[in-house]
Structure 1
Amino acid sequence: MNTTTTTPVPLDLWRNPHGRLMLRLAGGTEPVAVTPVRAFPIAAPLEGLSLVGPDGHELAWVPRLDALPAAARALIEEEFAAREFVPTITRIRSVSSFSTPSTWEVDTDRGAAQLVLKGEEDIRRLAGRTKLLIAASDGLQFHVPDVTALDRASRKLLERFL
């Protein structure tokens, strides 16, 4: 548990009438549309956040998402929810073949899904040996936060590819 206290980072954020996230920098500058970008989206999603302008340059840096005031944090989390779609695999129901490419039938936190694994190299280990990121052939990423939390049959299928 994080026992350090964080001082809220002051940011003047809001949505314009078109739904774009807007930022006014200190000193009352002209507002500019921004896109939040995580520095470490999988390994440390709450740490390191950049607000990037339309030209791709960083306009503001936030060391921790939870250091933002609640209203600004909610706006940024809405942006991430709309842009970051990484379903979490909760069960592997079947694989078509133990050689690649193979089609996987999985259950995720977003419902049942099918993915095509092109090669074993599309399964990346993150933060140790139990956290995985699986890239499907269509570009969608699937997350396994803890392999040991999967049921035995799922772990056995997955071990054939690791």
Structure 2
Amino acid sequence: MSTLPTLRIERNLLGRLKVQDPDGTVHEPVTAVRAFPIQTPAANISLVGPSGHEVAWIADLAELPPEQRALLEQELHQREFMPVIQRLLEVSSFATPSRWTVETDRGRCEFVLKGEEDLRRLNPTTLLVLDSHGVQFMIRDPLSLDKHSRKLLDRFL
């Protein structure tokens, strides 16, 4: 496993990530995986080789040169699809299943909440919503939502 300052992270000719160790060994393709994607999204990143073994560990993305940091952030963004709900616009019913219309950081969306067990509290300030297709949505802080959104959400909590 390599340490940070001497790593070289770039894309290969096929657009996949590759890592070069200080000794010149190239690992490709590698996959960037966050250890704690919700609690510390900019820290604790593992670069995993094709055999499934870790080839490098990045304690903090801020330690990387800007171009390598941008490359890893782009890769992680593509790998992890978890829209953040910013507003609840409408809920079809306060009994489940119900159709939710929401605004997220990726645009407006409609989904079906199958059961109340698909709305989970991860910690005191973060909720995870699982739709009927298995897509996960996050609500970072329910108290920061507008009054209408909080009123709709409170019916399910």
Please give the TM-score of this superposition, normalised by the length of structure 2.
0.91
Q: Which residue of 2 is the match for residue 5 of structure 1?
A: none
Q: Which runs of 5+ in 2 are unaligned?
A: none
Instruction: Classify 1:152/1:70 alpha carbon distance in 2 versus 1 (closer, same or farther; 3 Å).
Output: same
Please give the TM-score of this superposition, normalised by the length of structure 1.
0.88
Q: How does 1:41-60 map to 2 (within 5 A)?
A: 41-60=37-56
Q: Counterparts of 1:42 and 1:30 in 2: how far apart (Å)?
A: 30
Q: Which runs of 5+ in 1 are unaligned?
A: 1-7
Q: Percent identity?
A: 53
Q: Which residue of 1 is the match for residue 68 of structure 2?
A: 72
Q: Which residue of 1 is the match for residue 22 of structure 2?
A: 26
Paired residue type of 2:30: V
Q: Counterparts of 1:10 and 1:143 in 2: how far apart (Å)?
A: 35
- Structure 1 residue runs of 4 or more that deviate by more than 6 Å after TM superposition: none
Q: Which residue of 1 is the match for residue 122 of structure 2?
A: 126
Q: Does 1:113 align with 2:121?
A: no
The secondary structure found in structure 1 opposite 2:26 is coil
C-alpha displacement at 1:30, in angstroms? Answer: 3.5
Q: Counterparts of 2:36 and 2:112 in 1: how far apart (Å)?
A: 26
Q: Counterparts of 1:10 and 1:71 in 2: how far apart (Å)?
A: 15
1:11·1:72 contact (CA, 8 Å) conserved in 2? no
Query: Residue 138 of structure 1: which of 130, 133, 139 is its match?
Result: 133
Q: Does 1:88 align with 2:87?
A: no
Paired residue type of 2:86: T
Paired residue type of 1:149: S
